Structure 1
């Protein structure tokens, strides 16, 4: 008589949920990231800037239309000095942080959503991928800054125009980054198995493809936000920003218009340091995150 099979063979091998590996990889990435001082410092700087933008009304009053002390250097009363109209530069930088972070976040969200959608759909549908790749390559080859200036000048200066212009010229870079990863993902065996199980392509994209390219999307968010800040500051410096709202670029623009950019060093130093802090911390954060994703760093 044949001996009964062991219970383990009757039940079969234990299969872990599909999301288990993803959660383990995320946990390992976070542990590796916490061991990187440069990444943690960059994350802290970004969080401080976001906190400043939220608490701007509590940190400084909205800059007045004019003041009595004109072009006063930094002092205990005015920490960052005053501008050509006697306004407090510290208050301008604080409220400029709110505007700059708003433009960066809003433009990045629009560019990431549209760029990721185009990249994932293009990778999943080969016939569309050829057309999308041509459009992306053509857009990336165009001179971005002159086109941004032209569009912003024609549309008129406003915060919404600034956000849409920056987003419109940022999504091709996102598409290129996400598409390279998505093209690899759609060729994996489990995507073929998902196609055999269901004809709901939106479910396949949302359940399998998008989660697989999420790490690239995270990097794209940080990189796009830093570029959005630079683009917005550049347009505002050229007088194409929202004239009713303070931003770091507007501070530089008004310093240049008043002719005090050279003589009053504090008018350019503090907004420039704010731009540098946000862009540099975002760039270093993306580098640290990429290093943390490396499986070799998970074993340390």
Structure 2
């Protein structure tokens, strides 16, 4: 059941990614083509998701927007993962600098990630590069904390102590022994960062602080659809569904990978659930005896 859930989520994401990457080859309409005579037309065989207030095909724009969202999500997840992993490794292994690094991370995490990204984008500007920088800066502290926690556990294991005793250098210990043993939380956290980056980019674009309106993104489409939500609801329904499906699939994939890569956690949760059920059944039985 667990693997089936992972494969379904991964399959949905792969289909969306391939559809967006190859969209220029098979889409019947250009996402930027304006057809003044086709303004706000509903769903039809010619326009599967209808048209917007400029006569542009909503289906083509939804698919084209997926390419932008996936690119930003992947870029943020990759950079935040690399940066957070490096800082987390150093912080977890070197106790002398751990206090300083963690206080800086705590200061950054004192602000909600979206609020921090919003402030940075407002200061830097709304280009794609600046959005990636802002979202990376807002998300890498969480990655750092997760990796640091994992490193602190691995550092106590006997084979790490043996490596230190034999005179193995800290660089070798970190990247040859510690890093492979903290790869599971890295993969899981990267998946969640991917989902949060897509959602945050859509929120920034919706607020008018994202990518230029000339570039189709799900957030831009929702922002433009505000004025027509009562007369043309399809303008907001389909981009919204695309965001929900993508983020939900990424979260399901992340949860599935966490359970798959950490069987001890899964067994602990199952044991706790069984214990809770037995305790509840015992309590109900006692109540019935009293009655």
Correspondence 1:1-300 to 2 at 5 A: 36-60=3-27, 61-67=29-35, 68-243=37-212, 244-256=214-226, 259-295=227-263
Structure 2 residue runs without a partner (length 5+): 268-291
Q: In the TM superposition, what is the alpha-carbon distance from 1:295 to its structure 2 partner? A: 3.6
Contact 1:62 1:95 in 2 (8 A): no
> CA separation in 1, counterparts of 2:30 and 2:219?
17
> CA separation in 1, counterparts of 2:167 and 2:49?
62
Contact 2:2 2:256 in 1 (8 A): no
Which structure has more helix as a fraction of its residues? 2
TM-score w.r.t. the length of structure 2 is 0.85
Q: Which moved more, 1:101-110 or 1:61-70?
A: 61-70
Q: In the TM superposition, what is the alpha-carbon distance from 1:294 to its structure 2 partner? A: 4.2
Q: For 2:84, what is the secondary structure of its paired residue? A: helix
Report the CA distance shift for 1:54/1:198 in structure 2 as closer, same or farther (over 3 A): farther
CA RMSD of aligned residues (A): 1.8
TM-score w.r.t. the length of structure 1 is 0.83
Aligned residues: 263
> CA separation in 1, counterparts of 2:167 and 2:249?
43
> CA separation in 1, counterparts of 2:142 and 2:263?
26
Deviation string for 1:148-193 (max 9, x for gaps)? 2222122111111111111110001111111111110112121122
Q: For 1:36, what is the secondary structure of its paired residue? A: helix
Q: Which has the higher contact order (CA 8 A, sep 6+)?
A: 1
Deviation string for 1:35-82 (max 9, x for gaps)? 532222111111112212321212324323421211111110000100
